[in-house]
A and B are shown apart, each in its own frame.
Chain A
Amino acid sequence: SQTIHQWPATLVQPVGSPLSLECTVEGTSNPNLYWYRQAAGRGLQLLFYSVGIGQISSEVPQNLSASRPQDRQFILSSKKLLLSDSGFYLCAWATDSGNTIYFGEGSWLTVV
């Protein structure tokens, strides 16, 4: 069966510090991968998606970036965090056919 994991689960970072969130998927090949952010009391905002290694589409201009160095690995990064980057970050995967999207457990980021 397919599984998705992301880490770390929780982190508190000072403004201006770097960020790296990692996500891996097991049990499937060539998944579409996604990073979403959910601010407090808000809906899920699509940040990035990837349909293959090295292929990244950005949905929202911001100081975040994403990379996909391997087929089942997706990384969210920032060189300098802003207070507004605080939120709940969710990695997700789906097949190419537009069926169900599955989420990792999420990472809570607080920028102080």
Chain B
Amino acid sequence: RKEVEQDPGPFNVPEGATVAFNCTYSNSASQSFFWYRQDCRKEPKLLMSVYSSGNEDGRFTAQLNRASQYISLLIRDSKLSDSATYLCVVNSGGTYKYIFGTGTRLKVLA
């Protein structure tokens, strides 16, 4: 089983739609969680950290479920500019390692 798993997609959604991505992780000792965005042929960039109580940043909402070992990302009112690959990232405290999921591709259609 992979340490971090994501549905690769692609998710093709119309502008204005709400879309949700899930990510599962296998290491119950994981302590830090993030969502990154990666545009084609570019480096990944931090979208948002994921906190235990859930957090929101504008149109983006992240949730963490430690009991079921998954995190989620909800994008409301999708924009064309949201088209990218979204990477789930998990850091297991004390190991210095950041483990990336393979990413979920999102394409927002006009």
Which chain A residues have a beta carbon within 8 Å of chain B's beta carbons? 32, 34, 36, 42-44, 46, 49, 51, 57, 59, 88, 90, 92, 94, 96, 98-106, 108
A106 and B98 in contact, given A98-B91, A100-B49 (Cβ under 8 angstroms): no
Q: Are B98 and A99 in contact (CB under 8 A)?
A: no
**Could you list 10 examples of A-B contacts with CB < 8 Å?**
A43-B101, A49-B97, A57-B96, A98-B93, A98-B96, A99-B49, A101-B34, A104-B43, A105-B42, A106-B42
- Interface pair B97/A100, CB less than 8 Å apart: no
A92 and B87 CA atoms in complex are apart in Å by 15
B31 within 8 A of A: yes
User: Counting CB contacts under 8 A, is B66 at the interface?
Assistant: no
Q: A44-B100, A106-B43 are in contact. Are A98 and B87 (CB under 8 A)?
A: no
What chain B residues lie within 8 Å of A103 (beta carbons)?
Answer: 43-45
Whether B74 sits at the interface, judged by CB under 8 Å, is: no
| Chain B 79-110 interface mask (CB, 8 Å, partner A; 1/0) | 00000000101010100111111110000000
With contacts A44-B87, A100-B34, A104-B43 taken as known, whether A94 is within 8 angstroms of B98 at the C-beta atoms is yes
Asked if B17 is an interface residue, CB under 8 A from chain A, the answer is no
Question: Cβ of B18 < 8 Å from any Cβ of A?
Answer: no
Instruction: Select B44's contact among A44, A49, A96, A99, beta carbons within 8 Å.
Output: A44
CB distance from B40 to the nearest CB of A (A): 11
Chain A residues with CB under 8 A of B34: 100-101
From known contacts A44-B87, A90-B43, A98-B32, infer whether A49 and B96 are also in contact, taking CB-CB under 8 Å: yes
B20 contact set on A, CB distance < 8 A: none
Find the A residue at minimum CB distance from B103. Answer: A43
Closest to B100 in A: A44
Complex CA distance for A2 and B97, rounded to whole angstroms: 20
Distance in angstroms from B31 CB to nearest chain A CB is 6
B102 in contact with A34 (CB, 8 Å): no
In the assembled complex, the Cα of A51 lies from the Cα of B94 at a distance in Å of 12
In the complex, the 3 A-B pairs of residues with the closest C-beta atoms, listed nearest first? A43-B102, A103-B43, A44-B100
Residue of B nearest to A103 (CB): B43
